[in-house]
Amino acid sequence: MTTLNHFVQVSGEDFVVDGEKILFRGFGLGSWMNLEHFMIGLPGTDTMIKRAFAEVYGEERSRAFFDRFLFEFVDDRDFEFLKKLGVNHLRLPFNYKYFIDDQNPEVLKEEGFKYLDHVVDLCAKHEIYAILDLHSVPGGQNPDWHCDTNSGLPLFWEYGALRDTVIRLWGRIARHYKDQPWVAAYDIVNEPSMVTHAEVFNEFYRKVIAEIRKYDERHIIFIEGNAFTTDFSMIDPIDDPQVAYEFHFYPFVDEPAVLTPEMDRARRKEIFAEAFGKLLAIRDKYKRPVWCGELGLVFEQEQIDFQMEIIEDMLDLCEANDVSWALWTYKDAATMGIVYPRADTPWRRLTDEIKLVWNQHQEQEKGEALVDYMAATYFKPISKEMRYPLQFRMRTLMQVICVEQNLKPFLEKRSWKEIAELPASFHWEQCEHWAELAEVIEKYTKA
């Protein structure tokens, strides 16, 4: 293995290693240390899903299940595939609860390091950089399920005590990885949203960077913006030589029509370019390198060739503009991942049953419809601005019901012996992958 004496560093608007420019090209490891319902095929937030397992099978068996899941989700064979694709980094999302006990937040737990170290060690072995991504924080940094909120409110930005706990956590992480060059960067908090006070936002970043720098002056620190990291208007420039900026690129959120084959590809490219240009402006604003830490799609066999055009159009923008990128995601239950368990595996058989009664799109549509019904039936009409945050709060109520009615009954039908074998569905030999996406990725990594 190559001896690496120097860390990835920021140099002007580039990332460099030993003075040589590097463009990050890779994946996120979504739904590993932070379960996301639609990707893993189980309704509820990370905490709700784990609580359901504990209620059905008991605390000890539930812990054993998720311990096995975390250690068996990826192994050497996955990294051999990543190397074959030519990618050079992996974004590692993790939930704060592996490190912070909500009932005793002053004492940081060490549990999370055994899981992070497992994959960081694989990264080092196969010479693939790891970027550590705090995907969920106490109280929630945004109102959506993927930060494990149970309120639909971004309470992290309302309480300094919650932010102080995360600042301490990053100091502990920095002490642990300060001498590990295959950890390329610390991604402080995933997709902040509905932040209303610029001073709170900037003070948090200033404090967390200062805490990290007490122990670690070498690692890059990524700053994400507001509105699910698409709005950087609140973020003041930061006087730290190893700070860089991260945005996420899902242009179809605002323009769903781009996902229809009926739209002319040239027009879709124009829409993408306009949206990308607005995000790319942060490089000019801060004079630092930028990283597109997430882009991707939900893949469907019937549309896979068309969907590869969309992926190409997004990656072309990154490459043409010298922007590092990470596809979301590497592996899941046949949703957005390039790798996924075969349809005949126990995990897929379970989740295909659940899909008959639950899916994320219905959850979102019903949440919005319930807010509209409530307003129309009991109150005066409400504005679009008021409707938007309320639908997140409604969905958290629905998730509680969905776990009770659409997850636990399916678990209760299965013995512990059957359930205990579910994580093996993610072993490489039990999986298949999108060859079409692999071909697209290699077009960029091996050019």
Q: How many CB atoms lie within 10 A of CB 266?
A: 7
Using CA atoms, how far apart are residues 239 and 166, in angstroms rounded to an integer? 21
Is 422:62 a contact under the CB 8 Å cutoff?
A: no
Using CA atoms, how far apart are residues 14 and 26, in angstroms rounded to an integer? 17
DSSP state of 160: H
Considering the candidates 36, 191, 224, 246, report the single residue annotated as catalytic. 191
Quick check: is 60 catalytic? no
Cis omega (within 30 of 0) for bond into 229: no
Q: Torsion-angle region of residue 127: left (phi > 0), alpha (psi -120 to 50) or beta?
A: left
Element (H, E) at 47: helix 46-57
| Residue whose C-alpha is closest to residue 24's, from 214, 292, 237 | 292
Using CA atoms, how far apart are residues 109 and 100, in angstroms rounded to an integer? 6
Tokens of 50: 């784990």
- Look up residue 144 and give its amino acid: D
DSSP state of 237: P
Quick check: is 294 catalytic? yes
| Residue whose C-alpha is closest to residue 273's, from 327, 318, 311 | 318
| Residue whose C-alpha is closest to residue 267's, from 279, 258, 277, 276 | 258
Considering the candidates 36, 211, 224, 294, report the single residue annotated as catalytic. 294
Q: Give, in order, the Cα–Cα distances in Å from 95 to each of 17, 36, 42, 100.
A: 29, 11, 17, 9
Beta bridge partners of 428: none
Using CA atoms, how far apart are residues 53 and 64, in angstroms rounded to an integer? 11
Compute the Cα dihedral for 48, 49, 52, 58 and give only its sign: negative
DSSP track, 116-136: HHHHHHHHHHHT-EEEEEEEE
Residue 48 CA, chain-centre distance (Å), reads 18
| Residue whose C-alpha is closest to residue 242's, from 188, 300, 299 | 188
> Phi/psi at 190 (nearest 5 deg)?
-75, 130
Is 291:323 a contact under the CB 8 Å cutoff?
A: yes
Within 8 A by CB and 6+ apart from 218, the residues are 7, 9, 178, 242
> Catalytic amino acids?
191, 294
